[in-house]
Amino acid sequence: MHEVSLVREMKRLVEHEAELRQFSRVKSIHIELGSNACVSQDALRFAFESVRSGLLEDTNLDIHTILAKGCCRGCGLSAMMTEHIGVCAACGALILAAGGDEMRITELEVV
Ligand SMILES: [Zn+2]
């Protein structure tokens, strides 16, 4: 479950920011998570519960899903994708997804 490592790294980054910017509590963390990032939202939330202490005691974890995009080379149809490979709905050609593999903290609400 690499989500535990991701959450630990997220906590480390937040603690670093807290030191730099002098805040003591985080109300919420907003993250963008790509649909093809191979990260389970449920596992991420579960792992987040396990690191709740200090700064993150009452923090709300807000996850915004980013879908990958694909463009058919056969007919040019654009599509939002939830898998790495899909089939074009118009012509049946294979479509490779681009993007959707990111995970980033986009906003911290702090006290
Ligand atoms: Zn097509």
Which pTM was predicted?
0.81
Q: Mean pLDDT across the chain, nearest whole number? A: 93
Which tens digits make up the pLDDT trace of 8-17? 999 999 999 9
Distance 34 CA to ligand 1 centre (A): 23
Distance 68 CA to ligand 1 centre (A): 17
Distance 98 CA to ligand 1 centre (A): 16
SS3 66: strand
Which tens digits make up the pLDDT trace of 46-87? 999 998 888 999 999 999 999 999 999 999 999 999 888 999
CA–CA gap between residue 13 and residue 24 (Å, rounded): 14
Q: So what's the pLDDT on residue 52?
A: 87
Domains, the chain, ordered by start: 3-67+101-110 (3.30.2320.50)
